[in-house]
Amino acid sequence: MTTVLAFVLVFGLLTIFHELGHFLMAKKAGILVEEFGIGFGPKLWGQSWGETVYSIRLFPLGGFVKMLGEETDSKNERSFRSQPPTKRLLVIGAGPVMNFILAALLFAFIFFLVGVPVEQAEIGAVVPESPAYKAGIKPGDVIVAIQGIPIKAWAEVPAAIATRAGKTTDITINRSGQILTVKVMPELAPDGQRGIIGIERSMKKHRPLASLYWGARQMIGTTIFIFQQVVEMVVQRQATEVAGPLGIVQVVSEVAHTGFINLLSLAAVLSVNLGLFNLFPIPMLDGGQIVLITWEAIRGKGLTPDQEGAINLIGVLLLLALLALATYQDFKRLGLGV
């Protein structure tokens, strides 16, 4: 039950925010929005406010925006297709943009609650009865060297300790200006793959505005990292890291059991993924529509219905192929017999 609820909440939040971007920009552009729906399937509830019907559907996964003239030609001046390319580009691009904004807000909320990670190797907490605790390491200590090798940032600490499981390790710390060296024997982590000593990174809390700044920075950094991973995957022609629906459900399930903050962090990362994915230049995705509208602006005229239908069919086939590949990788990864 926890898994299903967590998946519905996370996926629903991401897709509703995405559609909200299209909706708000369409309203701003003066386009007639016929319906804004939450979920899919049979309508459970609907209410007209102004010229738009707001509805809730049976299956609470995602949402949709129905604009006049989005799928068929309409001579109404407020239809989607009657708008100049610039307005249509803004409406289409607003969906992915909202996913990036949502990610920044989620990261900011997390940083406001728990703080922003301190870059230097300052210890924020020590797990009771852990190797670090038994060695006398305290919160506030700053690690300056491990086995005589200087440590300049926290990012260097896990790697330096990972290979030291079961080995006596010299850790030099700065405690309020006093330099001390303690001997610690890292223990094996529960995954059996690395050494740990039971310390947590120091976090610095900020006010809301500062948290927004750090949230935006984290969103940008996450976006760049994911984009680099996608490029590397394409260049190396490796699809083993592609996660499909089953893989995403599994990750959400695992993270949901580790706490609310971790679930929010996962939602932020998935929101960035959704924003980037929708910008791929594949027909039927926002990125594909952006390419077609841009091409229309360059040529001075749009595609014929037959041409657009053929391109959209190619897009559907590509998306189905990608879904099949991702699901296949899920089955292999989860050991489900494929």
Q: What is the CATH number of the domain that holds 199?
A: 2.30.42.10
Give the model's confidence band at 330: pLDDT under 50 very low, under 70 low, under 90 confident, else very high.
low
Query: Please, are residues 91 and 286 in contact by the beta-carbon 8 Å criterion?
Result: no
Nearest Cα neighbor of 280 from 296, 291, 269 is 291
The model's pTM: 0.81
pLDDT digits (tens, 9 = 90+) for 66-89: 999 887 767 788 999 889 999 999
Instruction: Note whether 124 and 108 are same-domain residues.
Output: no
Share above pLDDT 70 across residues of the chain, in percent, rounded to a whole number? 91
Give me the active site residues, please. 19
Spatial distance between the Cα atoms of 24 and 27, rounded to a whole number of angstroms: 5
pLDDT digits (tens, 9 = 90+) for 95-139: 999 999 999 999 999 999 999 888 899 999 999 999 999 999 999
Q: Which two tokens stand for residue 320?
A: 């189905």
Instruction: Note whether 43 and 172 are same-domain residues.
Output: no
Spatial distance between the Cα atoms of 307 and 283, rounded to a whole number of angstroms: 12
Spatial distance between the Cα atoms of 233 and 263, rounded to a whole number of angstroms: 26
Instruction: Note whether 80 and 222 are same-domain residues.
Output: yes
Spatial distance between the Cα atoms of 16 and 39, rounded to a whole number of angstroms: 8
Classified as helix, coil or strand, 40 is strand
Classified as helix, coil or strand, 66 is strand
Question: Is residue 293 over pLDDT 90?
Answer: yes
For residue 211, is it within any domain?
A: no
Domain that holds residue 197: 117-204
Query: Please, are residues 138 and 124 in contact by the beta-carbon 8 Å criterion?
Result: no
Mean pLDDT of 222-244: 76
